[in-house]
A and B are shown apart, each in its own frame.
Chain A
């Protein structure tokens, strides 16, 4: 881990550590980009499957596009999240990290931010692909889609990172992570789907704003709670 320069002295220590872990995880993600590609392919396949389940009805598909897009993002996110701590466990890297004077909060926020970045990219690709496949015509400003996309991905990645750490050493992680995570992120999914849907279909009653607020609240709660509880989780 690189030594912090004197210019960084006035920044809190754990913030620098968070940044370092974020960079480490992103570098790691880049070196194993085949996995990320696999997730994108998986998400794309999900989109195709949804259209096969519904039938070749463009109006119906366009109407429900928001739901399909977020569902395939959520399903493929478990692939990413279950990897998040598995790579640390493989060579005892997490123990090594914990032996260093690193604040556990820094580990959580670093990894959650890294997951957020990758997940946002993934969701963005899925969103574009889904709109293309389901012939959705976008009326709202693209930046509004980006904000919902960022909020929704953040809402998956904070509790997802926490549960990934929890389940990292379970015998059945691949099974347990979705079992715990999916019911938890229902409010986040609901809000993201609704907000995206209103962006697609128009929002005469201006309800999209309140769903966005719900997304923001969900994120505040779980990003805070994750930082508080993560110390307990890794501290044995």
Chain B
């Protein structure tokens, strides 16, 4: 297990505990969406949580308001999926162009 993950999750927990959880205002999901319901399981994190004394730590992407929602140890699968598909897309498009060239010449 990467110690960084544990550390970051621990920090996230700490930040949430320090917040006391009282002034966390749920973004109302009761807001009706005529084109479909917003997924109810989406974690809604208030702006208070973002601006809390924990603040934006060094080494973070500023504005990220989603910490605390990371399931432990499940990161790399998604990471590899993204990188592999990105390269496959580039390769695939290059292949498509090459194929078009062959067809026309």
Contacts and interface: CB of A to CB of B under 8 A. Distances in A.
Interface of A: 63-64, 66-68, 70-71, 193, 197
Contacts of A67: 34-35
A72 to B, nearest CB: 12
Contacts, number: 12
How many residues of B sit at the interface, in one of the four size bands? under 10
Interface string B30-44: 001011000000000
B28 to A, nearest CB: 11
Interface of B: 32, 34-35
A21 to B, nearest CB: 35
Contacts of A193: 34
Contact of B32 (A63, A68, A70, A71): A63
B105 to A, nearest CB: 29
Contacts of B34: 64, 66-68, 70-71, 193, 197
A193 B35 CA distance: 10
Interchain residue pairs A-B with the least CB separation, the first 5: A67-B34, A193-B34, A64-B34, A63-B32, A66-B34
A68 B32 CA distance: 13
Given A67-B35, A68-B34, 7 more contacts: A64-B32, A66-B34, A70-B34, A71-B34, A193-B34, A197-B32, A197-B34
Nearest to B35: A67
Contacts of A71: 34
Contacts of A68: 34
Nearest to A196: B34
A50 B32 CA distance: 16
Nearest to B32: A63
A171 B32 CA distance: 39
A64 B36 CA distance: 10
A201 B64 CA distance: 34
